[in-house]
Amino acid sequence: MFSKVYGCAVVGIGGKLIEVETDVANGLPSLTIVGLPDNAIKESRDRVRSAIKNSGFVFPQKRITINLAPAELKKEGSAFDLPIALGILACSGYISSQTINKHCFVGELSLDGDIRPAKGVLPMALTIKGNSGHSLCVPADNIQEAAVVDQIDTYPLENLQQTVDFINKVEDIQPFKVDIEEIFRMNSVYDVDFSDVKGQQHVKRAIEVAMGGGHNILMIGPPGAGKTMLARRIPTIMPDMTLEESLEVTRIHSIAGILPAGKGLIATRSFRAPHHTISDVALIGGTQLVRPGEVSLSHNGVLFLDELPEFRRNTLEVLRQPLEDGVVTISRASASHTYPSRFTLVAAMNPCPCGYFTHPVKACRCTPYQIQNYISKISGPLLDRIDIHVDVPALNYQEISDKSQPETSAVVKERINNVRRIQQERFKGRKIFCNAHMHAKEIKEHCQLDNQTQSLIKVAINSLGLSARAYDKILKIARTIADMEQVKNITAAHVSEAIQYRSMDRNFWGNK
């Protein structure tokens, strides 16, 4: 007897339809799986055998061979349990094989036949949508993420027995639908707000520019100035995501298997704040099974590195590729995968080891050598990739005791949303979502300068010794500032504000 059942494999951030072919022949009882399975799939033999028996079916005492095609693709994980079990049941005559081929099945089996959640269901659903006329049958726990993909039917499954009844049309299960607009409407509620932070108007402005255009930002200041406090409030002003952005982010979380329970779509931007002891692998991704790291989990959101110089230099160096290209490539012996990692970097640091180098009153106790050593942990190329550097001074008494009510996050977020809308319109259909992601071509097209502004930037470059990369960054930031004013042309005022944000290039430490 022979049967064919469809399953799906995750490949990088995409998926691939897999044919699970089962052949049951007379001979010594055995169960062999071929077609480059990993260990989890090999172990599937024992789970499938128990699940079939415990669901009330007879396991055939014959020679069973299972082939996962295409055979050359290496397959991972336990999500093939279900199609393998169904293939065996189809060969044993429990299932009418005409209807089984209309579906694609995903799920791990427990020994009693229950279907457990699988990783990467969203990329699988997107693959099925673009690929075949199949419907997708997934573990009930994964149904939310499968159902966000429109144009395909998705069915939630609880256990093996129910699945067989469903295929044989003994039990009717309706395709699951989710209301995507409703998910987006459910606004996240935060217990902190930008209005908690007193003073620091120019830092708030810099953060607004950063979030408005997706620019990386570094805050430098003495202890207690409010750097961590400000950064922790950034999620409350991050712009709303488009569905396209949201699907990209959810796909990565789906592969990592860390979608929150009952949540099919990540509708708010990620804010990841790894500790400075984080390993390269956890930051970039990797390990034996290829897994997305923090840089990918913060895709389209914010990666916050507090106390930047405390991170190991190596760890910071590996950030260079994702910062520049918006992707990370993780290679290992069997395969290499590329994951998206276009995050906005928010970093904070003190200006020196004791922290008080820029403090107006407290004296800094560090030697020039110590300061040099401290700063040199962050290499020039990394600094070059951070668009906005902003000084966060200590508050004076007047500012601390100020009773006036600063702007709330809701007001700031509304403005940022408006600025982002201008950019979405500008880059429609180009896979670019904000000004920070412009390439040379877009910069040329959208950052034209008049003569006066051109000469201003020339003076700045000559006197500050800016790199070509810094020049491009100034243009991009100036574009965002012009967008914030809703004007088409970049003016000298926009460019001079953008130049202000390159304080590290202006030799921050040399000029005290």
State the number of binding residues for ligand ATP (CB under 6 A). 16
Cβ neighbours for 485, distance < 8 A, ≥ 6 positions apart:
494
Q: How far is the CB of 224 from ligand ATP (least distance, A)?
A: 5
- Angle at which helix 160-167 crosses helix 81-91, to 10 degrees, equals 60
Q: Which stretch binds ligand ATP (CB under 6 A): 7-15, 192-200, 240-248, 453-461?
A: 192-200
- As a whole number of angstroms, the distance between CA 376 and CA 303 comes to 21
Task: Name which position in 50, 65, 101, 228 contacts Mg ion (CB under 5 A).
Answer: 228
Contact set for Zn ion, span 345-364 (CB under 5 A): 352, 354, 357, 364
Task: Name which position in 227, 291, 299, 502 contacts ligand ATP (CB under 6 A).
Answer: 227
Question: Any contact of residue 225 with ligand ATP (CB under 6 A)?
Answer: yes
DSSP string for 95-121: S-HHHHTTEEE--EEPTTSBEEP-S-H
Partner touching 364 among Zn ion, Mg ion, ligand ATP, none, CB below 5 to 8 Å by kind: Zn ion
Question: Any contact of residue 224 with ligand ATP (CB under 6 A)?
Answer: yes
CB-nearer residue toward Mg ion: 228 or 379: 228
Contact present, 129 and 18 (Cβ < 8 Å): no
Contact present, 134 and 102 (Cβ < 8 Å): yes
CB-nearer residue toward ligand ATP: 229 or 243: 229
* Structure tokens given for 128: 């099925």
Cβ neighbours for 135, distance < 8 A, ≥ 6 positions apart:
102, 103, 104, 128, 152, 153, 154, 155, 175
CB-nearer residue toward Zn ion: 225 or 259: 225
Judged on CB neighbours under 10 Å (0-12, 13-18, 19+), 15 is buried
Phi then psi for residue 478, to 5 deg, are -60, -35
CB-nearer residue toward ligand ATP: 307 or 472: 307
Contact set for ligand ATP, span 204-223 (CB under 6 A): 221, 223
Question: Any contact of residue 195 with Mg ion (CB under 5 A)?
Answer: no
Contact present, 122 and 144 (Cβ < 8 Å): no
CB-nearer residue toward Mg ion: 101 or 228: 228
CB-nearer residue toward Mg ion: 131 or 228: 228
Task: Name which position in 123, 156, 226, 235 contacts ligand ATP (CB under 6 A).
Answer: 226
Task: Name which position in 50, 161, 228, 417 contacts ligand ATP (CB under 6 A).
Answer: 228
Q: How far is the CB of 394 from ligand ATP (least distance, A)?
A: 8
- Strand pairing of 115-116 and 327-331? unpaired
CB-nearer residue toward Zn ion: 428 or 512: 512
- As a whole number of angstroms, the distance between CA 102 and CA 135 comes to 6
Contact present, 295 and 341 (Cβ < 8 Å): yes
Partner touching 247 among Zn ion, ligand ATP, Mg ion, none, CB below 5 to 8 Å by kind: none
- As a whole number of angstroms, the distance between CA 115 and CA 158 comes to 6
Q: How far is the CB of 306 from Mg ion (least distance, A)?
A: 6
Q: Which whole-number Å values give the CA distances from 221 to 358, 376, 511, in the listed order?
A: 7, 17, 15
Task: Name which position in 273, 282, 318, 395 contacts ligand ATP (CB under 6 A).
Answer: 395
Q: Which residue has the tokens 């065996």?
A: 88
Task: Name which position in 74, 198, 320, 421 contacts ligand ATP (CB under 6 A).
Answer: 198
Task: Name which position in 147, 197, 252, 390 contacts ligand ATP (CB under 6 A).
Answer: 197
Give the interface with ligand ATP as residue ranges (CB under 6 A): 197-200, 221, 223-229, 348, 350, 355, 395
Give the interface with Mg ion as residue ranges (CB under 5 A): 228
